[in-house]
Amino acid sequence: MQLAVCEFARNMLDWKDANSTEFDPETKHPVVIDMPEHNPGQMGGTMRLGKRRTIFKTKNSILRKLYGDVDYVEERHRHRFEVHRNLYMHTM
């Protein structure tokens, strides 16, 4: 997932140095970031587990249509990194 997001930002937004902070903590365009609630200095037992609700803000979202045109989805996650929320503003 991280690499797909990086490639999208590099090719569609022309951010040639877009990266995940896991790979390049000093990247100018951090498109995948450490979860805000995660302490990067503490690795044991710090993954986000469970499910998270994603609410679709627009009716014409391709992803929303793929999920059956619902208002929101809840998916299970197990990770320490997430797509930087600022990236959403550049893709709408």
Report d(CA 67, CA 18) in Å as an integer: 28
The pLDDT of residue 62 is: 85
CA-wise closest residue to 5 among 84, 76, 89, 92: 84
- To the question of pTM greater than 0.85 for the whole model, the response is no
Residue with tokens 């995940």: 20
Query: Residue 80 has what pLDDT?
Result: 72
CA–CA gap between residue 91 and residue 77 (Å, rounded): 23
Residue 52: its H or E element: strand 48-55
More confident residue, 90 or 35: 35
Residue 72: band (very low, low, confident or very high) from pLDDT cuts 50, 70, 90: very high
